[in-house]
Amino acid sequence: MEPKESREAYSYPFVGLAGTVSQHMHIEFSTSSELDRYHHQLLRSTLDEQLLLGYLSVLYWGHYATSKGNTNRARALSKVQTAINGSSFLRLGEIRRRRGLVDFAPDEAVRLLREAASLVDSGQYGEAVRNLCSLPQLQFAFASKIVAFLAPIKCGVIDSVISRKYPIFGFKLNGKYVSTSTENFQHYQTYCSMLSARAELLNELGPKAHWADRDGQTYPWRALDVERSLYGR
C-alpha cells in the first residue's frame, strides 16, 4: 500500500475529553485533523487547567481502542481516573500505591508538560519524552503521543506495534511495552528526524501527493502523518 493510501486508511477513533480535570466528558471529532488541532491547542494552552485536560484527553484517546480494534470507553475513563486519583494494588503481600495527580501535585504536572513543550521547541524530542515519562500513567509510548500532538510537523508516536513491525528503528521492548531505556530516547530523536525527512520528500511531489482526510480536504504531510501511514503498510 502506498503512503497516501495508508494514511487515508488510518481509522483509530477520533475521541477526546472536554470540560475540566474534575468534570470531563467524552467528545468525538469528524476527522483526524480536528482531533490533532484540539489536542495541540490544549497542550499549548497558557491555562493550567486546559493543559492538564490535554494530558488526560490524550490518555483517554490512546486507551479508547484495544489492540484488537475494539472500543472501550469505560477502560479509557478508568485510566484517566487512575491518572487523577492514583490507585492501590497488592504486590508481594503488601499494599502499594500508584500515584495520581492528586498526590503527585498538579503544579508539578504542569511544570513537566511545559518543560516538555520547551524541549520539543528546541528540537530535543527524546528528552521531551523522557521528561513526560515522570507523569502518572505515562510510559514511553504515551509520552510520545503527547510529544506528537505538541509538534505534529516534527514528531510522531512510537509504540510496540511500530517497534515490532519495523525493528530497523532500533527500539527495545520491555515485555509488551516500549522500554524507557536511555538508548530508546536517543532512537526517538532519530525516528522523528526520519519521519520529518520522509514528510518533506512527499511534499516535494506537490499537491497530488497530499493525503485526504475523511471530509475530503487534503493536507500536506507532517511527521505525524508519516507515522500514521506506517500502520497500514
User: Residue 67 pLDDT > 70, yes or no?
Assistant: no
| Number of domain units in the chain | 1
| pLDDT, position 136 | 95
Place of cell 493525503: 211
| pLDDT, position 66 | 78
Q: At 1, is the pLDDT very low, low, confident or very high (cuts 50, 70, 90)? A: confident
Q: Considering the chain, what is the average pLDDT of its residues?
A: 94
Place of cell 517497534: 163
Ranking 35-49, 79-93, 99-113 by mean pLDDT, the lowest is 79-93
User: Residue 93 pLDDT > 70, yes or no?
Assistant: no
Question: For 151-162, what is each residue's pLDDT tens digit?
Answer: 999 999 999 999
Q: Which three cell numbers stand for residue 224?
A: 505525524
| pLDDT, position 96 | 74
User: Residue 61 pLDDT > 90, yes or no?
Assistant: yes
Question: For 191-214, what is each residue's pLDDT tens digit?
Answer: 999 999 999 999 999 999 999 999
Residue pair 135/55 in contact by the 8 Å Cβ criterion: yes
Question: For 121-145, what is each residue's pLDDT tens digit?
Answer: 999 999 999 999 999 999 999 999 9
Give the domain extent around 138: 3-230
Residue of 222, 220, 231, 167 lying closest to 198 (CA atoms)? 222
User: Residue 94 pLDDT > 70, yes or no?
Assistant: no
Which pTM was predicted?
Answer: 0.95
| pLDDT, position 159 | 95
